[in-house]
Structure formats: C-alpha cells, structure tokens
Structure 1
Amino acid sequence: MRNDFNNWMPLSVAEIYSLYSKMGIQWGIAGGWALDLHLRKQTREHSDIDVVITREEHLTAYDYLNQDWMLYKAEKGKLSLWEDREFLYTTMDIWVSKSSDTPFVFQMMLVDTEGDSWVYGRNKSIKRPFDDLFLKSDEGIPYIRPEIQLLYKAGSSQVRDKDYRDFRTILPSLLPQEKEWLKSSLSLQFPEGHDWIKFL
C-alpha cells in the first residue's frame, strides 16, 4: 500500500493521447485539463492529469496498461494494488505509476453507463447520451464536456479553491444550454441549493 499521495509527475496531454489512442476504447481527458482543452489554452498549473473511461471497458484498459504500469485502486483515502484482472464494481478512481516507488503520472476515472447513456454516480437520475459525454480539441484529443466536468467539481463533497477558480474562468465561455444543464443538474443533486447556481 502507498501513502505518498502528493508524489506526482504527471504525463502531458500529448503523452496521454499517445497512450490511450492505442487502446481501442472510448476515453477522454477530464479534470482541469479538460476545461483548458475546451478554452484552447492552459489557464493554470496542473498537479495531475485525469482520464475518463467507462466501467464497461476498464478490463481492456487494465490489460493494456498492466504490461508497463503499476495500477492502484483509490478508495476511502487508501491506495491498494489492482489485482490481476479484478473486476471493479465500485471503485471509481485508479492511480498509475511506473513502479511502486516512482511518482504517479495519471489518474483513470471510471464512469458508469446504462444502455447508451452516461450516468452520474452521485445522483443516478442525472444522465446524458454517452455520445454527448466528450468533445474533441482541434488536435483531435477527446475531453469531457465542460458542463459535465463542472458538475463533477461542484458535486464533490469538498469543492476546492481551484474548482471554484476553474468555474469562474470557464463560465463566460459556456453556451446557454450548457449553463442550463449544469444549473438543473446541480438543483437535482442539491435541492437545498448550491453556491454556483446563482451564477448560472
């Protein structure tokens, strides 16, 4: 088990693209990098880099990555090795490094689907057609849609300062329908209200 949670030397977006484009699965950049790809510029420093795949295809990703990388399940504040071809029923987050004592280089996040729809894990009534989950940069790099990425940031148990800064940075570029979807989704998850709703 590892506990060096801050030991990061993240791959670049280009390196992630080179790695994942060979897997034959659906994937996209997530987190702050996804928002920067949408804005076509880097707006801040990023301490890590996140990739989204579906739970349906996570064993395909395991088979490909396990040849060269160490894969750790992140659950309840702990990291443990992803056992050989173990099906992950509830794990949402995988941390990846080259060896057991080298820095982490990217996180892989698993999202659930129902039929042709993406399902938001924190409130399963929030769904989108899976084909709507990703956009592509000018270079052809897939990334999670900004309003969906913002829902993940806003819907966390702890909204960090950088999440709020990301929200304020990208807000002027959101289309009316993207704002409305985020507003309605936040209202579903937080019927008592959420700080971001007044800006939408």
Structure 2
Amino acid sequence: MTDADPLGPWVPASLDDVRARLAPAGAPWWIGGGYAVELAVGAPFRAHGDVDVLLLRRDQLAVQRALPDWEWWAADPPGTLRRWHPGEILPLAVHDIWCRPSAAAPWALQFMLDEADGDDWVSRRDPRLRRPLAGIGRTSPAGLPYLSADIQLFYKSKGLRPKDEADFTAVLPVLEPAQRAWLRGALGLADPAHPWLARL
C-alpha cells in the first residue's frame, strides 16, 4: 500500500487490546463512538466498523510514543489521509487519526482529538460547551473508560445517520436526568430545531 493509496480494510482492535496498548501512554483517553454508547447501554446491540478513542489534543504525542512502531495517518479536511510523522503537532483543523500496526495490516484504531482548556473539556463542535474533564467519562464494569453518553450523542447528532439514530434510541432509556438535561441544553444551543429535542 503506497502513500497515494492509503485506504484499506478495517479490523478494529478489541476494547481489551485498546486498553493494553494505551496503558503506557500516561494520558487520559476514552472509548468513543458506537462502542461508548454500547458501554453505556451495558450490552452490544449493533455491529461496529471501527473503534474510536477520544483523546485530548494536548496529549496527541503520548499515543504516538505508546505505539512507536505503528503507522499513523491524519485525516486532513475535507477527508484526505496523509502520514502523521513522529513528533508532528497536528493543526487544529485535524481531529481524526487512523493507525495500524504496519502498512500491510488493516486499520485498527481511530483517534478523535478533542480540545481542553486547563481542567475543562471544550467541545470542538461548539466551544461554548465546556465541562470539567473529570466529568466527561464513565468507567465500565470491566474498567474501560468511555465517553459519557450525552457528549457522545451530541457529536452523533450532527450526522443523523441510521447508526446514530439507532444509538440514540438504544441509550435514551438509560440516560440519567442530568445527562438528558445537558444534551437538551447542548442541542438547544447548537441546533434548536433538532428532532431529538422532542424525545428528550
């Protein structure tokens, strides 16, 4: 596979493999995407094409160092993959990173970079939305950190793909009152006409 043709199949790393590989990073991270919703629900309910890991932008080099032999690619808007070189600080416009054990291996992990200001998480979708970093994640019974379902749904609300609708429907019954309130407020700020508001 060449630099001009980086696309290839995905074989997502297992969640246990993610935890083992990122243990040396020494930086916080959270399982995101559909797996985060599944962990919140407490049971699998759909297939997943990849595994997303939320990472603070300021910690981006920590994961590079934790997986030094892996191949890294950054998704430059509007969606061009390019190599992410060791030690390179990615610009603010880049917030997706694909990686795999080698050029011949399938893609295994996708990192989503998010913003922080001191001890606060700042939504890259709408910087008016902030929360203490200590409150953006949960921990599964197996000890896996994952992004709180209300924040994950807020990100998913922008696309409204069938899988996003499925995730919203699955996790809605287990959202806590505070999570519902935060998501209502976030959607009301970012998209006051969003169809999910009527169901919250």
Q: Do both proteins adopt the same fold according to a TM-score greater than 0.5, normalized to the shorter chain? A: yes
Match of 2:168 in 1: 167
Which residue type is aligned with residue 184 of structure 1? G
Q: TM-score, with normalisation over the residues of structure 2? A: 0.93
Asked whether 1:189 is paired with 2:184, we answer no
Asked whether 1:92 is paired with 2:95, we answer yes
Which residue type is aligned with residue 74 of structure 2? K
Q: CA deviation at 1:68?
A: 2.0
Q: CA deviation at 1:19?
A: 0.9
Task: Name the CA distance, whole Å, in 1 between partners of 2:195 and 2:5.
Answer: 33
Q: CA deviation at 1:187?
A: 0.9
Q: TM-score, with normalisation over the residues of structure 1? A: 0.93
Match of 2:132 in 1: 129
Task: Name the CA distance, whole Å, in 1 between partners of 2:41 and 2:4.
Answer: 35
Which residue type is aligned with residue 181 of structure 1? W
Map 1:90-129; keep pairs closer than 5 Å. 90=92, 91-129=94-132
Asked whether 1:71 is paired with 2:72, we answer yes
Cα-to-partner distance string for 1:156-188 (whole Å, 9 max, x where unaligned): xx3211001100011011111111110110111
Task: Name the CA distance, whole Å, in 1 between partners of 2:7 and 2:40.
Answer: 28
Root mean square deviation, CA, Å = 1.4
Map 1:2-151; keep pairs closer than 5 Å. 3=5, 5=7, 7-65=9-67, 67-75=68-76, 76-90=78-92, 91-151=94-154
Q: Secondary structure of 2:180's partner?
A: helix
Which residue type is aligned with residue 85 of structure 2? E
Task: Name the CA distance, whole Å, in 2 between partners of 1:195 and 1:174.
Answer: 17
Match of 1:199 in 2: 199
Q: CA deviation at 1:89?
A: 2.5
Match of 1:152 in 2: 155
Q: Secondary structure of 2:9's partner?
A: coil
**Equivalent residues of 1:34, 1:143 under 8 A apart:** yes
Task: Name the CA distance, whole Å, in 2 between partners of 1:3 and 1:133.
Answer: 36
Task: Name the CA distance, whole Å, in 1 between partners of 2:59 and 2:198.
Answer: 37
- State the 4+ residue runs in structure 1 displaced beyond 4 angstroms: 2-6
Change (3 A) 1:182 1:16: same
Which residue type is aligned with residue 163 of structure 2? K
Q: CA deviation at 1:78?
A: 1.1
